[in-house]
């Protein structure tokens, strides 16, 4: 059985957001292609995603120094437990689907918070004599992103998401870009039709 982790990185739903509309379409297409797949959706704007802040970093440092988990404050315990849970969720996934919009040439802050939970030394990568190396293998990912303009995959967000996934061992990363709707609103339906067709084709072999 294939475990598919879907990352919904937008506060709006698929009726309000183009990226979420395509994310839902692609997820449904994956279900059709692999009826036995287990789909888990992580909604970054409704589920609890701890951010790396002072108290959380201090908690990790304390644990690394040998202190007991019970010595942490209640908030630190909650945040550490959830952070580790999200790391395990990623480790247990065979396939990852990520959907977001390009905001100010970057990824949403909630998506960055999730990225921090999968970029963990000793769990998803480790340091070697020649530099960092991934600790995961065999995973596949599709990154779905909408943007008002057209960047042809050269925007920072697309490059960052692909690089960070490959850094932790996800060698097979495909991109589905929904570009240019703000620049060419009259072409919206044509753009979406082409993207849906691309999504359907990728889902068949994902």
Q: Are 97 and 27 in contact (CB under 8 A)?
A: yes
Global confidence as pTM: 0.96
Q: Are 178 and 195 in contact (CB under 8 A)?
A: yes
User: Which two three-digit tokens encode residue 87?
Assistant: 């790391």
Residue 180 is assigned to a ligand binding site = no
Residue 19 is assigned to a ligand binding site = yes
Tens digits of per-residue pLDDT, 148-175? 889 988 899 999 999 999 999 999 999 9
Tens digits of per-residue pLDDT, 76-101? 999 999 999 999 999 999 999 999 99
Pairing of strands 131-134, 125-128: antiparallel
Residue 24 is assigned to a ligand binding site = no
CA angle, 67 then 72 then 74, to 5°: 160
Give me the pLDDT at residue 149, please. 87
pLDDT band at residue 103 under the 50/70/90 scheme: very high
Residue 99 is assigned to a ligand binding site = no
Give me the pLDDT at residue 26, please. 99
Residue 17 is assigned to a ligand binding site = yes
Residue 148 is assigned to a ligand binding site = yes
CA angle, 82 then 88 then 94, to 5°: 140
Mean pLDDT of the 113-128 span: 98
Tens digits of per-residue pLDDT, 12-52? 999 999 999 999 999 999 999 999 999 999 999 999 999 99
Pairing of strands 172-179, 140-147: parallel
CATH 3.30.70.2190 is right for the domain spanning 3-204: no
Residue 149 is assigned to a ligand binding site = yes
147-165: b (≥16 Cβ within 10 Å) or e: beebbeeebebbebbbebb
Provide the edge-to-edge strand list for the sheet that holds 172-179.
Answer: 38-43, 3-9, 95-101, 140-147, 172-179
Domain limits, the chain: 3-204
């Amino acid at each position: 059985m294939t475990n598919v982790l879907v990352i919904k990185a937008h506060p709006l739903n698929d009726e309000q957001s183009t990226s979420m509309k395509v994310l839902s379409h692609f997820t449904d297409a994956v279900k059709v292609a692999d009826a036995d797949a287990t789909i888990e959706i992580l909604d970054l704007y409704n589920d609890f995603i701890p951010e790396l802040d002072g108290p959380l970093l201090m908690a990790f440092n304390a644990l690394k120094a040998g202190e007991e988990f019970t010595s942490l404050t209640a908030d630190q315990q909650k945040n550490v437990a959830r952070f580790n849970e999200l790391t395990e969720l990623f480790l247990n996934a065979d396939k990852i689907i990520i959907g977001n919009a390009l905001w100010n040439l970057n990824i949403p802050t909630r998506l960055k918070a999730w990225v921090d939970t999968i970029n963990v030394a000793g769990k998803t990568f480790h340091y070697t004599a020649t530099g960092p190396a991934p600790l995961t293998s065999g995973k596949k990912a599709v990154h779905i992103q909408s943007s008002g303009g057209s960047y042809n995959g050269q925007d920072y967000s697309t490059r960052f998401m692909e690089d960070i996934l490959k850094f932790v061992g996800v060698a097979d990363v495909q991109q589905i870009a929904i570009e240019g709707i703000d620049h060419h609103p009259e072409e919206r339906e044509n753009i979406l039709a082409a993207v849906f067709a691309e999504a359907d084709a990728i889902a068949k072999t994902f």
